[in-house]
Amino acid sequence: MTAMTAAPTPPPAAPAAPVARPRPGLRERKKIKTRTAIRDATYGLIREQGYDATTIEQIAERAEVSPSTVLRYFPAKEDIVLTDECAPLLVAELRARPADEPWLDSLRHVFRTGITLGASAPAPEEPEVTRLRTRLMVEVPAVRTRMTENMARTGRLLCQVIGERTGRAPDGFEVRVAAMSLVGGLTEAALYWAEHGHEDDLGALVDRALDVLDQGLAPGKP
C-alpha cells in the first residue's frame, strides 16, 4: 500500500476586493437627498411626539416637501421606518463573493460589512436611528405588519442569489425555505436586540442567528 503524504498547505487566499459602486448621477443624488430629508423629519417628529401622533403632513412640512412627494417616495408612513434599501445591496454583495466560497462564509462576510445595520446604504444610518427603528418594529403593530410584507420581498431577492449559487430554481421549495429562514433569523436578531434594550451587540446576535441556521439547536439547555 502506497504511503500518502500530506499536500503542502496553500498560501492564504487574498481577500476579495470590495464591490465597486459607481457614483450616483445628479438625479439619483437628488432622490437620495429627498428620501433622507423625509426620513430625518420622520424620526425627529417621532422622537418628539411619538409614532401615532406623527402625520404625513407634519413630515412634509418639516422636510420642506409636499405631502404628495412624501407618498411618492414612501407609499405609507410605515415604509419610511422600514426601508428595504439594504436588500438590493445585500444581494449585490453576495453576488460579488467568490462562487466557490461556502455560503455561510459569504453571509458572515457581508453582514460584518455593516449591510444589516444600514451602514452601506446610500445614506448611512446613525446608531441612534437604528435603535429607534428596531424599537418601533417591536412596539407599533402597523410597523410589524409592514415588516412581514417587506420580509417576503427580501426573501424573493435572496431566492435569486441562492438559486445562482446552488444551480437550483429560484422558486424551488428548498430555495424558498432557505431564503425565508435567513430573513426570519435576521429579523428575530433585530427584534431580540430591541426587546432587550439594545444591550447586546447586534453583530454578535446576527452571528448567533447564522449559527442556528447552519447547525440547528445544540442539544440540552444553553
Kindly report the CA angle at 97 between 93 and 102, in degrees rounded to 5? 120
Last residue of a domain, one of 76, 93, 109: 76
Same domain, 125 and 153: yes
Note whether 86 and 164 are same-domain residues.
yes
**Could you tell me the pLDDT band of residue 16, with boundaries at 50, 70 and 90?**
very low
Closest CA to 189 of 117, 105, 83: 117
Give domain status of residue 177, yes or no.
yes
Residues 154-183: tens digit of each pLDDT: 899 999 999 999 899 999 999 999 999 999
AA identity, residue 125: E
pLDDT confidence of residue 10: 42
Domain of 164, CATH number, reads 1.10.357.10
Rg (CA), the chain: 20
Residue 60 is part of which domain span?
Answer: 26-76
Q: Which three cell numbers stand for residue 111?
A: 453582514
Q: How far apart are CA 90 and CA 102, in angstroms?
A: 16
Q: Are residues 67 and 146 in the same domain?
A: no
- In the chain, the number of structural domains is 2
Same domain, 126 and 207: yes
Same domain, yes or no: 89 and 37? no
Q: Classify residue 220: in a domain, yes or no.
A: no
Question: What is the residue-wise DSSP string for 187-220?
Answer: HHHHHHHHHTTT-S-HHHHHHHHHHHHHH-PPSS
Q: Give the model's pLDDT for residue 4.
A: 33
Tens of pLDDT, residues 112-166: 775 544 433 444 567 888 899 999 999 999 999 999 888 888 899 999 999 999 8
pLDDT in tens, 198-209: 999 988 999 999
Q: What are phi and psi of 37, to 5 degrees?
A: -60, -40
* Crossing angle for the helix pair 141-166 and 86-96, to the nearest 10 degrees: 20
Determine the pLDDT at residue 114.
59
pLDDT of residue 194: 95
Report yes or no: 83 and 39 within 8 Å, Cβ to Cβ: yes
The string of DSSP codes covering 73-111 is H-SSHHHHHS--THHHHHHHHHHHS-TTS-HHHHHHHHH
Residues 117 and 57 in one domain: no
Q: What global pTM score does this model have?
A: 0.77
Distance CA 187, CA 103 (A): 19
In this structure, are residues 163 and 170 in contact, taking their beta carbons and an 8 Å threshold? yes
Indicate if 89 and 65 belong to the same structural domain.
Answer: no
